[in-house]
Chain A
Amino acid sequence: MTVLPFLAITFGAAAASLLLRANARMAAAIGIAGLLAAAAAAARIRPEDTLAIGGSELAGSEYLRLFALIGSLVALALTVLGLASVSHRNAPGVLLAGMGSAVLALALTDARIGVLAATAGGLFGVLVTIASPATPRSVVVASRELRALAVAGVLAILATAWIGRPLGGLAVVPEVFGFAYLGFAAAVAIRFGAIPFHFWAARLADAAPEVTLPMLMAWGPAAFAIVALTWADQSVAPLLLPLTAERVAIVAVGAASAVLGIVAAAIQDDLEHVVGYTIIADAGIAILGLAALSPEAWSPAREWILVFITVRSAFAAWAVAMRGAFRTRRISELGGWAVRAPLLAVALVLVAAAAVGFPGLVAWEARASLVDLTIAGPIGIIVVVSSVAQLAIYGRLLVVGLSKPSAAVVAGLSERPTWPDIVEGRRVVGLSRAERAFERGGHAIGGSLDVLWGIPAAIRANRALLAGAIAVLVAALALSLSAGGFGIVEASQAVPVPGGPGPAEGPGAPSSEPPGSSSPAESPGSVSAPASAPPSSGSPVSGEPAPPSVGPSVQPSASAS
């Protein structure tokens, strides 16, 4: 089955949910049903299935299947958590549309179309950034978001268009490829809100509902980044151009985000800000993957992106559950939360384990590989140490949770199971055996109906428990992915089918074949890179070239399946 059913379900359910948003319950119900159906459709995506449509192709892959499946499940959990906490009536529709756009961008084999889809998907975020009633602050945040999306989008459009054609007669090879590469990397940094482009993203954490934060700051930009990664691997990396200055600039942005993001998260008192800055910090590592331009970085970068967006979604789910239970986002007001909500404490420990990891874990190895490939020396050590230092953030939250209960926590909801007192006791007043038997039967039916009728009230009464359980499930999912579950390593190693014309074709010879038919093995050489040019692989900071190797950039596309 192709990716088409998934797209039809997500976009159809998103439209229905948004059209019926006047009824928040109906919108949420449609959102939940749509996400369930989307998860089922995602599980049926097959790598070998491609669909030629309108002169381009939609192609499935193991990585796409995993992205769509995990994303749908996480969005489903967040939607349900939104019912137990604070959400927005547009949130289910935005989650569905955002996931549909992200999967569409990844399924498109032509990067020029992929960036359009990824940019269009980001626009749905405006619907939730402006909460009702609108405030000047939310309008400012939404306008900044719109500005960032437009700038990032046009940078990516120009970069992909510049290289997405025959370049045989190109006179200034390194400059053209360098500008295009730098432009697309800057677009990714803007979309992620990486430092120094983080102002709009930091405000977004204030304005957008908590349940949509992972979609706006992680899943949507991640699709954009994966498109950029694929484009760089197919269009820039095979040429082995001397792009040292460009790579140093990208590494600087990535390293600054990774280190300063953790510092910023550690000093915040607002849970959503903590979540937002940890996303920015992890995005910094993903940006390092763009700077590597090496076949060795292909798999770790894709592993890291999928792991980090899932882990941060779990962290956001934990924060949503905390907000729902204790009605506050301020850490200073959450004293004693861990005692009152032990499931949330378990979820936080799982999130910490998945986020930091340890040697041997896929997430740890992916991060270490990306840092090794791009940063040498003490700066690399600082980046790795900062990633480990985020343990201080979780430790601080746990210490607060084990301290004396605050007023907000005492007044909040407990995870202790309870049942609403709505089942009435019925006395048996019959005299004969038959009469009493009939009466007992009637009471049993009545009691069952009481229980059934009491389920909604029971869910409301136990919503903290249920929210905690969902947070634990999402955190366990993140930890499993971080440990290499769901076949993430094999999925990340697959090479996508190249699509659309590109620099591989000769000068003035536009392809007459359908997109995707050109072999990437022919990519290097069509554009004559300077013979003396040092290879791009290796650490741009140290300047040491990495040993030549054959990786995804030059492997035949058949390995994608």
Chain B
Amino acid sequence: MNVLLAGLTAAVLAGAVVAVSAREARASLLGLLVVLLASSLLADPLPRPLPLAARIAAALLAARLISISIRGLDRPTAGSRLGWPVEALAAVAAGVVGFGTHGLGATPLGPALASAAGCAVGILAAAPMVTSRDVYRLGTGAMLLLVGGLLIRVGLGGTPSDLEQLVTCGLIAGVGGAVAVVVRAARAATGDLSVGDDTAAPRPPSRHLGRSGGGITARDAAHLEPVAPVAPGPASPEAPARPRRRTPAADPFAGR
């Protein structure tokens, strides 16, 4: 096993865990940048200098575009509901699976560590892609998902050709630009990173927090906000049979 590739794989995993679990947007972006830079090197043989330079430039461009969109952000991102230890363990487990199934039934042309890193990054991207209403996390998940796919492709098919590297650069920069556009638009529209579908019914609160939530409502785990005090209503002859549900006024995200 190549020590350099092992180090790059570790860097990819660490960066991806930070990218999906950090609540500070800049830290998350830094993790994403590490993933993009390390994944461009994760091949055997290494890419030629010119394609490599292009990949690095595309990674920096994508990160720069996203950084512009989160400039002046005074609220944290949603972060991970599971927490970074769980994310890290899941990534390691997926990495082991990727390493063990390298080649997927036939002779691979690339390093096993690329497959491992690809599976790990892909599994980390799943939660933000499926559940998050935070557009920044969703964008991070989209980028990680594509990078995971590209890493598995390197593991299966070997080092990409120069033209493939060039088109990959366009894809990475394009995803970065798209994420930046969406994040900027979300902040302009709502002042926040989380947007809900105004036509959809409000989602119930997290089961882990309970329906009443102890004075706290949560839509995404990071956005814990105190519940606005509810005005006392008229006396009721009967006690409610179950805990009172959130009122639309108390839920700042309802109806968005």
A92 at the interface (CB under 8 A from B): no
Q: Mark A111-133, 1 if CB is under 8 A from B, else 0.
A: 01100110110011011001001
In the bound assembly, the distance between CA atoms of A170 and B104 in angstroms comes to 9
Partner of B164, one of A110, A136, A139, A158: A110
Partner of B153, one of A112, A117, A119, A143: A112
Do A139 and B171 contact each other (CB < 8 Å), given the known contacts A55-B162, A126-B182, A134-B185? no
B13 at the interface (CB under 8 A from A): no
User: Could you tell me if B153 and A171 are in contact, using CB atoms closer than 8 angstroms?
Assistant: no
User: Could you tell me if B152 and A54 are in contact, using CB atoms closer than 8 angstroms?
Assistant: no
Min CB gap A191→B, angstroms: 14
Give B contacts to A, CB under 8 Å.
Answer: 51, 104-109, 122, 129, 135, 138-139, 141-143, 145-146, 148-150, 152-153, 156-158, 160-168, 170-171, 174-175, 177-179, 181-182, 184-186, 188-190, 195-199, 256
Min CB gap A480→B, angstroms: 34
User: Could you tell me if B157 and A139 are in contact, using CB atoms closer than 8 angstroms?
Assistant: no
A154 at the interface (CB under 8 A from B): yes
In the bound assembly, the distance between CA atoms of A165 and B146 in angstroms comes to 20
Partner of A171, one of B105, B108, B157, B179: B105
Do A134 and B162 contact each other (CB < 8 Å), given the known contacts A146-B142, A166-B106? no
Do A134 and B163 contact each other (CB < 8 Å), given the known contacts A151-B145, A154-B146? no
User: Chain B binding site: helix, strand, loop or mixed by DSSP?
Assistant: helix
Query: In residues 157-214 of chain A, which contact B (Cβ within 8 Å)?
Result: 157-158, 160-162, 164-172, 176
28 contacts between A and B (CB under 8 A): A55-B164, A116-B168, A117-B167, A117-B170, A119-B171, A123-B171, A130-B182, A130-B185, A137-B199, A138-B189, A139-B182, A139-B185, A139-B190, A143-B182, A143-B186, A143-B195, A146-B139, A150-B129, A154-B146, A154-B148, A158-B152, A161-B156, A162-B104, A162-B156, A168-B106, A169-B107, A170-B105, A508-B107
A396 at the interface (CB under 8 A from B): no
For residue A116, which residues in chain B have a CB less than 8 angstroms away from its CB? Answer: 164, 167-168, 170-171
Q: Mark A496-514, 1 if CB is under 8 A from B, else 0.
A: 0000010000011010000
A519 at the interface (CB under 8 A from B): no
In the bound assembly, the distance between CA atoms of A28 and B73 in angstroms comes to 34
User: Could you tell me if A165 and B157 are in contact, using CB atoms closer than 8 angstroms?
Assistant: yes
User: Could you tell me if A153 and B146 are in contact, using CB atoms closer than 8 angstroms?
Assistant: yes
User: Could you tell me if A165 and B109 are in contact, using CB atoms closer than 8 angstroms?
Assistant: yes
User: Could you tell me if B153 and A161 are in contact, using CB atoms closer than 8 angstroms?
Assistant: yes
For residue B182, which residues in chain A have a CB less than 8 angstroms away from its CB? Answer: 126, 130, 139, 142-143, 146
A53 at the interface (CB under 8 A from B): yes
User: Could you tell me if B145 and A150 are in contact, using CB atoms closer than 8 angstroms?
Assistant: yes
User: Could you tell me if A130 and B163 are in contact, using CB atoms closer than 8 angstroms?
Assistant: no
User: Could you tell me if B153 and A123 are in contact, using CB atoms closer than 8 angstroms?
Assistant: no
A147 at the interface (CB under 8 A from B): yes
A542 at the interface (CB under 8 A from B): no
Do A167 and B156 contact each other (CB < 8 Å), given the known contacts A55-B161, A143-B138, A143-B182? no
For residue A113, which residues in chain B have a CB less than 8 angstroms away from its CB? Answer: 161, 163-164, 167
In the bound assembly, the distance between CA atoms of A548 and B66 in angstroms comes to 54
Do A147 and B161 contact each other (CB < 8 Å), given the known contacts A113-B167, A166-B107? no
User: Could you tell me if A134 and B189 are in contact, using CB atoms closer than 8 angstroms?
Assistant: yes
Partner of A161, one of B141, B152, B196: B152
Partner of B181, one of A126, A136, A140, A169: A126
For residue B109, which residues in chain A have a CB less than 8 angstroms away from its CB? Answer: 165-166, 510
For residue A169, which residues in chain B have a CB less than 8 angstroms away from its CB? Answer: 106-107
In the bound assembly, the distance between CA atoms of A119 and B175 in angstroms comes to 10
A135 at the interface (CB under 8 A from B): yes
A328 at the interface (CB under 8 A from B): no
User: Could you tell me if B162 and A120 are in contact, using CB atoms closer than 8 angstroms?
Assistant: no
Min CB gap B223→A, angstroms: 15
